[in-house]
Amino acid sequence: MASRESGRPVSGVQENGRPAAGPGGSGEPAVQARGSGEPVMTKTSATVGAAPGYRPSATLPFGAEFRRQASRRRTQLALGFMVLLPLIILIAFQFDSGDDDNGGGEFASLVEFATTGGLNFTLFTIFVSASFLLVVVVALFCGDTVASEASWGSLRYLLAIPVPRARLLTVKLLVALTYSAIALALLAGTALLAGTLRYGWSPLRSLVAAELAPGEGLLRLLAVLGYLAVVMLVVAGLAFLLSVVTDAALGAVGGAVLLWILSSILDQITALGVLRTFLPTHYSNAWLGLLSTPVQTDDVVRGCISAISYATLFWGLAFWRFTRKDVTS
């Protein structure tokens, strides 16, 4: 049945007798009739009935989300602290009295060789940051991304633009991973620059390897950063999953950090035996093998496989959950 004034189909029926596409449908009827005459709502798409020129792939561009996150105070503070930490460590070394009684063991040795060159200072900064600070920063970027939108009440408006749910998650995840990589690069880059200016460009030394020439030492450091970036994917995946299932950004960030710490504690319990190898933190320190002579890569490969597997699982669960949940905030 068609309207005489506009010629458009009404009551969900076109002039040729086929069902009309509902608002936001993709050719599927918004209403179907049962034999009893009662209407039944069916799932529709958001592309038909939208404004001319609407393309789901053009919604929420990566650049727009990147700039939006850059303007947030937590992003600026997190990245700023990545630059500030190496400078704080450098200043702290200037107050070192040189006494050997103020510390001992492995950490004292690390402090001692940290002041022998820029590469060594960078390695020390990475060593003291990898187990906790980087975990917190990555969890902050990835755990705050969706939960913060829900807590502000802006998530449903993003989806009403309409932005497809899978695209919204993809863009937000890519932006969070990009900022996590920037944070890691800022930490290492600032430490290398400040350490080189203060202590010079010297060979790389470590407790597990012979002295390495500066060029080779730099390559080893880059390999260490690459491995740490892969390991942090586990934290990113876990925080992102928690960000999807909760509306509290602090809960998502804190939950990811606490679960990482719990896994680290369990990994120290030798009674668990082979079960420890399945913990996401079991290979978190395998990057030390990249500094040995010769290079030990067995645990590095296992760590990469473990991290990518866990991250893929967590991201898959996040997409599965978000594409099926009711967004009311």
Low-confidence ranges of the chain (pLDDT < 70): 1-54, 56-58, 96-109, 207-209, 327-329
Question: Given the structure tokens 């929420």, which residue do they identify?
Answer: 60
Paired tokens of 172: 């937000």
CA 113/CA 92 separation, integer angstroms = 15
Whether 250 is in a domain gets the answer: yes
Whether 189 is in a domain gets the answer: yes
Whether 8 is in a domain gets the answer: no
Q: For the chain, first and last CA: distance in Å?
A: 39
List all residues 6 or more positions away from 43 whose beta carbon is below 8 Å from its beta carbon. Answer: 28
Paired tokens of 281: 């933190």
Q: Give the range of the structural domain holding residue 221, as residue numbers without chain letter.
A: 62-96+105-324
pLDDT of residue 329: 56
Q: Based on the structure, what is the number of domains in the chain?
A: 1
Whether 42 is in a domain gets the answer: no
CA 105/CA 259 separation, integer angstroms = 29
If you average pLDDT over every residue of the chain, what do you get? 81
Whether 167 is in a domain gets the answer: yes
Q: Give exposure, 111-137, as e/b (b: 16+ Cβ within 10 Å).
A: bebbbbbbbbbbbbbbbebbeebbbbb
Query: Are the C-beta atoms of 179 and 141 separated by less than 8 Å?
Result: yes
pLDDT of residue 163: 78
Whether 298 is in a domain gets the answer: yes
Whether 45 is in a domain gets the answer: no
Whether 198 is in a domain gets the answer: yes
